[in-house]
Amino acid sequence: MLDAMINSPFFALALSAAAWCIGRWVNRKTGCVLLNHMLIAVAVVIVFLRVTGITYEQYSIGGDFIKMMLGPVTAVLALNIYNQRKVLGDYFVPVLVGCFVGSVVSLGSILLLCHVFGLDAGLTASIMPKSCTTAIAIGIAESHGGVAGIAAGGVMIAGLTGAVLAPFFGKLFRVKDPVAEGLAIGACSHALGTTKAMEIGPLQGAMSSIAICLCGIISSILTLFI
């Protein structure tokens, strides 16, 4: 009976949903940026699997259903651009140039650092799209022979770093333009950074939200030539 339950796809789905809810609850209760709900959910699943002795292969029976939904989620990002079409129209040129430069710098800096530290092609491909949102980053990483888990970890680290340090860098470099500030946050730290951008101001949040989508599209295109 227990084996049948563990090997059921619904087990992993229920575990993942429960871990996500725990993460959300902890994040809302503490209000700490470092205690991100996604990070907590991953930790809960890992600890549960280790304590119970359930293998990753057993978990992936249902976990793969979640991974399968990354494709539709990526397509839904286009809805975000549509919802922000007025803001995008008002700042079309700076948005397009800013997102393009941000994507080039992000990919270029990773490739340069990986070359300097002598990392292999698989690891380079895994962390190369770290500034894209998870759904896009995993697709880019896997298409270049990378590991999805490492790509997701890189995305999480980039997002948390941006969410924590965005206000500090804004003051350090005296960024006063809300459009520039929002684009920089979204281009570097995707959804997690956008949460912080929305706290800074509504225009920053809107621009960061647009940057997530456009940088994902631009990065996907640029990686075709790498």
Express each pLDDT in 152-183 by its tens digit.
Answer: 888 888 888 888 888 888 888 888 888 888 88
* Domain end marker among 16, 39, 67: 67
CA distance 226 to 221: 10
* Domain end marker among 67, 87, 121: 67
Express each pLDDT in 26-61 by its tens digit.
Answer: 888 887 767 777 778 888 988 998 998 888 888 887
Judge whether 62 and 10 are in contact, CB under 8 Å. yes
**5: exposed, middle or buried (C-beta count within 10 Å: 0-12, 13-18, 19+)?**
exposed
- Looking at the structure, tell me whether residues 183 and 79 fall in a common domain: yes
Express each pLDDT in 94-146 by its tens digit.
Answer: 899 999 999 999 999 999 999 999 989 999 999 999 988 888 888 899 899 99
- Structural domain that includes position 8: 2-67
- Kindly state the tokens that stand for 33: 């940026």
Express each pLDDT in 67-84 by its tens digit.
Answer: 777 667 666 667 777 777
Predicted pLDDT at 2? 63
CA distance 123 to 132: 16
The domain tally of the chain equals 2
The single-letter code of the amino acid at 19 is: A
CA distance 80 to 77: 5
- Looking at the structure, tell me whether residues 153 and 63 fall in a common domain: no
CA distance 114 to 77: 29
* Domain end marker among 39, 67, 95: 67
- What's the whole-model pTM score? 0.76
